[in-house]
Amino acid sequence: MAAMSASSGSGPAGGSGRLGYVLDEVFVEHRAPSGHPERPARAEAVRDALTAAGIAARGERIVTRAASDDELARVHAPGYLDDLAREVPGKSGWLDADTYFSPRTWDAALAAAGSTTQLTLDVLHGRFSHGIAVVRPPGHHATRDRAMGFCLLNNVAAAAAAARAEGAARVAILDWDVHHGNGTHDIFWDDPSVLYLSVHQFPFYPGSGAATELGGPRAIGATVNVGLPAGCGDAEYAAVFDHVFLPKLAMFRPDVLLISAGFDAFQHDPLAGMRVTLPGFAAMARRLRASADRWSAGRIAAVLEGGYDLDGLGGGMSAVLAAFAGPAEPLPPVAPLPSHMVARAAIEGTLIAHRNAGAAIPAADAHR
């Protein structure tokens, strides 16, 4: 299929502002061992919050479907998929010290990857402008040949690869989960057509995501990592977006923008040390909506990743819904660089690493 190209500065295009979303009880059927943080209540909390926020009246629920063999094979090794298909369906056990499976996990995992992919294609082709996928198990830690970090299949990677196969010339994935999405990072490491941007706590699990990790030889600059110290909140995240991510997105101009939307940077999350508030997530979502409206013909979709405080999950995804389903807003003024010196150094370190590699990121006000 011939490559498509996003409109340039023309505002939202196909879909006329319509929202598509994924909600299904199959994602609750991925049952967790007692005490495990990646539990069905996560999906239930987001479902209940979005229902209370009126998502049914503000969008259209899409039919859940399993990922096809071809969709999975674009991002995962055949032997790995064979192993999962043999070991997981109808059984309970562990794939590593963190990543469990239960009798309906395989159904949920296939549905998470397939429905995320379908929603992304619906956004790409104009059925919707915006999308929200409330799926589990999460996906961004799953590498081409390994399950880890609660993840079996890389949902957002499958969706991005499908978008490329369906004609998107460029796809961007922005990952604001508190943990670096090492799986997505690795899958697209040497692919210049997929831009991967991550802001995460660093150093922290899984240990990757340094500022100097820029992409493979064919894709220098297509991986952008900003690792912030524990304790950062709304102001530091706004600065990352305005000084690094939005200028890079304006330069890259993706045909569709995907968000790996984890909410474990929330100030009360039990597994991390960040201090992002619900208004902080709303500010990030509004910035990305404005960026997509300007540079990606309005095409944007958010996919649930981590987040283990139920209020943070429900409130965070409700903030995304408000940003996507509400009226278009212009980008706010550029946030100042942080007064937190380590956070400021992290942002500047990313900018310096890209400039030194010949892949300089434009100034914050270059495309405003």
Task: List, by residue number, the catalytic residues.
Answer: 141
Residues in the chain, how many? 368
Angle between helices 310-325 and 278-295 (to 10 degrees): 30
Rounded to whole angstroms, how far apart are CA atoms 179 and 209? 9
The residues facing 275 across adjacent strands are 233
Rounded to whole angstroms, how far apart are CA atoms 365 and 119? 32
Rounded to whole angstroms, how far apart are CA atoms 147 and 312? 25
